[in-house]
């Protein structure tokens, strides 16, 4: 397989995949984390913890990887070829955006768990991109 050139990259597909990943991860993540914190006794009037409890953080990261899988699938479906590359590009755009906001928001430096999440995110997005590409190919074969 030859190396992809910039002309073969469908940037629209990558950015739309990033958008789907971002919207899904943030909306579903916010909803689920809010519900989990409410169940744990953190209401609207109580002080939020300094850091999320480990189980809530794990659920949050699983939702993030699912968002990457979904966004990668959209990118791969729209790109029609090199789905894994487009899925990874969409996720990389999102990760780059997050890493750019770290110094602005004063967030702590990345730790080993964050690096593991980044790797899982990229793997999920690449796999989603491949699945999206294959789904598109199956749909066009049936028509």
Q: Give the Cα separation of 114 and 72 in Å (integer).
A: 20
CA dihedral 113→118→122→123, nearest 10 degrees, is -10
Is the per-residue pLDDT at 4 higher than 70? no
Would residue 3 count as lying in a domain?
no
The parent domain of residue 77 ranges over 12-44+53-142
Overall average pLDDT of the 41-57 stretch: 74
What average pLDDT does the chain have?
A: 85
Would residue 103 count as lying in a domain?
yes
- What does each C-alpha distance from 106 to 100, 123, 130 come to in angstroms? 11, 28, 36
Q: What does pTM read for this prediction?
A: 0.83
Centroid of chain to Cα 124: 8
The CA-based diameter of the chain, rounded to the nearest angstrom, is 58
* Number of separate domains in the chain: 1
Would residue 2 count as lying in a domain?
no
Would residue 7 count as lying in a domain?
no
Would residue 68 count as lying in a domain?
yes
85-132 per-position pLDDT tens digit: 999 999 999 888 887 877 666 666 666 777 888 889 999 999 999 999
Would residue 104 count as lying in a domain?
yes
Tell me which of 27 and 49 has the higher pLDDT: 27
């Amino acid at each position: 397989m030859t190396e992809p050139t910039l002309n073969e990259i469908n940037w629209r597909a990558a950015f739309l995949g990033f958008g789907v990943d971002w919207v899904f991860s943030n909306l579903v993540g916010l909803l689920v984390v809010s519900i989990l914190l409410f169940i744990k006794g953190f209401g609207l009037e109580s002080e939020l913890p300094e850091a999320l409890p480990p189980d809530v953080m794990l659920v949050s990261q699983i939702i993030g990887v699912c968002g990457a899988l979904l966004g990668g699938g959209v990118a791969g479906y729209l790109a029609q070829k090199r789905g894994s590359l487009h899925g990874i590009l969409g996720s990389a755009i999102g990760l780059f955006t997050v890493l750019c906001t770290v110094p602005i928001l004063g967030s702590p430096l990345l730790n080993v768990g964050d690096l593991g999440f980044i790797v899982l995110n990229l793997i999920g997005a690449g796999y989603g991109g491949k699945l999206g590409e294959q789904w598109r190919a199956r749909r066009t074969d049936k028509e």
